[in-house]
Amino acid sequence: MKLKNRLIISFLIITLVPVLIFTTLMMGLKGFVQEATENQLTNEFIHSVKNYMDDSGRFDELVISFCVAELVILFLTAVIMVVWIYRGIAPQLKTLKLAANNVKEGNLDFSVASTGKDEMSELCNAFEDMRVRLKNNAKDRLEDEAEQRALISNIAHDLKTPITAIKGYAEGMLDGVADTPEKQEKYIRTIYNKANEMNTLINELTLYSNIDTNKIPYNFQKLNLHAYFSDCIEELGMDLDNQHIRLDYANFVDPDVLIIADAEQLGRIIHNIVSNSVKYMRADVPSRIAITIKDVGDFVQIEIADNGKGIATKDLPYVFDRFYRADASRNSAAGGSGIGLSIVKKIVEDHGGKIWVTSKENEGTTMYFVIRKYTEVVYE
């Protein structure tokens, strides 16, 4: 039922019910006095009522003026009430109707927030919350869609580059361009390297999509920080030594400190960061990487610093975004698809940690991340 109809019915009820009750009462009183007279009851009160009512002109006059007065008062009260109620809710109802139409048409740029304390204001505020949620969802969906499109175009691009090379070298061989065994070996090696590149990219993509959809079952364990990093640095040191890169290592954490981590994924974090340091080295200075581990209360902080090309200030906030590469041309000799650091960030966050970076162009980059220490809970 429409609110307007409801109000009209309420108005009629407010007006008519008391009049009916009053009339019934008067009729009842008249009947009572009549009955008392017929039965010759003598009582001072009944006598005075009877005398008054016997003067029927006066009684009818009284009844009529009573009715009129009551009718007028009730009518005015009811009108005032109805207008008051209607005015209280009508503007907000109008706003809500407009808002609902806007939502229906997909327009979410409006506000129905209200500062009032009544039910209609609460309703408006609930509607406003819903609108904000819808708007955020729509924004997230658009961003997701844009990301998906970027993802597909980036994958297509990154796969196309090695495929073009493979095709070119294979054609070269078929056409007999590689006419010496040395040339043939060079062509085959290039094809092999390009296929490897594709393989790495596909593996990274699979890993990223698994991490992103929480399909990687982490194998969290208590790890002794010193023991873990001693092994890790030994392996890394040999690798970097072969590439003539100096590795400095300093661990300021107590030797018995434990962390909770997945050893394999922690290794992936370090490998990805260090491989960036190697990839973005400068040719004009002897390359150097320094790994420093500090105790910062409940966490251990791992810092991996290099003296490479550095990252421009404008690119710094985005390096952890998937597919972001400071060298936007995507054709850099350094290669890479811009997934590495987004994988690192996800793994660090899944460990309950945080990652950040500082960098200066032509001076170097430092990656920082923290991992929570393991603390024994003693129940007494």
Ligand X SMILES: Nc1ncnc2c1ncn2[C@@H]1O[C@H](COP(=O)(O)OP(=O)(O)OP(=O)(O)O)[C@@H](O)[C@H]1O
Length of the chain in terms of residues written? 380
Binds Mg ion by CB under 5 A, chosen from 92, 251, 265, 276: 276
Between 47 and 271, CB nearer to ligand X: 271
Between 280 and 369, CB nearer to ligand X: 280
Give the range of 141-149, 213-221, 255-263, 330-338 binding ligand X by CB under 6 A: 330-338
| Binding status of residue 308 toward Mg ion by CB under 5 A | no
Helices (H), 55-180: 56-104, 119-174
**Alpha-carbon dihedral 81, 83, 86, 88, rounded to 10 degrees:** -80
| CA dist., res. 235 & res. 222, Å (int) | 21
Between 92 and 359, CB nearer to ligand X: 359
DSSP state letters, 271-298: HHHHHHHHHT--SSS--EEEEEEEEETT
Provide, rounded to whole angstroms, the least separation between the CB of residue 206 and ligand X: 13
Return the H-helix or E-strand segment holding 359.
strand 354-360
Number of residues lying near ligand X (CB under 6 A) = 23
| Binding status of residue 365 toward ligand X by CB under 6 A | yes
Binds ligand X by CB under 6 A, chosen from 280, 287, 351, 369: 280
Contact between residue 190 and residue 169 where contact means Cβ atoms under 8 Å apart: yes
Give the range of 227-235, 261-269, 272-280, 296-304 binding Mg ion by CB under 5 A: 272-280
Provide, rounded to whole angstroms, the least separation between the CB of residue 325 and ligand X: 3
Which of ligand X, Mg ion, none is residue 339 near (CB under 5 to 8 Å by kind)? ligand X
> Phi first, then psi: what are they for 238, rounded to 5°?
-65, -45
Provide, rounded to whole angstroms, the least separation between the CB of residue 216 and ligand X: 17
Partnered with residue 260 across adjacent β-strands are 222
Buried (b) or exposed (e) across 161-180, using 16+ Cβ within 10 A?
A: bbeebbeebeebbeeeebee
Give the range of 105-113, 178-186, 232-240, 323-331 binding ligand X by CB under 6 A: 323-331
> Phi first, then psi: what are they for 241, rounded to 5°?
-60, -40
| Binding status of residue 311 toward ligand X by CB under 6 A | yes
Which of ligand X, Mg ion, none is residue 327 near (CB under 5 to 8 Å by kind)? ligand X
Binds Mg ion by CB under 5 A, chosen from 162, 308, 310, 340: 340
| Binding status of residue 338 toward ligand X by CB under 6 A | yes
Contact between residue 36 and residue 50 where contact means Cβ atoms under 8 Å apart: yes
Provide, rounded to whole angstroms, the least separation between the CB of residue 274 and ligand X: 9
Provide, rounded to whole angstroms, the least separation between the CB of residue 231 and Mg ion: 23
Contact between residue 272 and residue 344 where contact means Cβ atoms under 8 Å apart: yes
The secondary structure of residue 338, as a DSSP letter, is: S
| Binding status of residue 307 toward ligand X by CB under 6 A | no
In the bound state, the residue with its beta carbon closest to Mg ion is 340
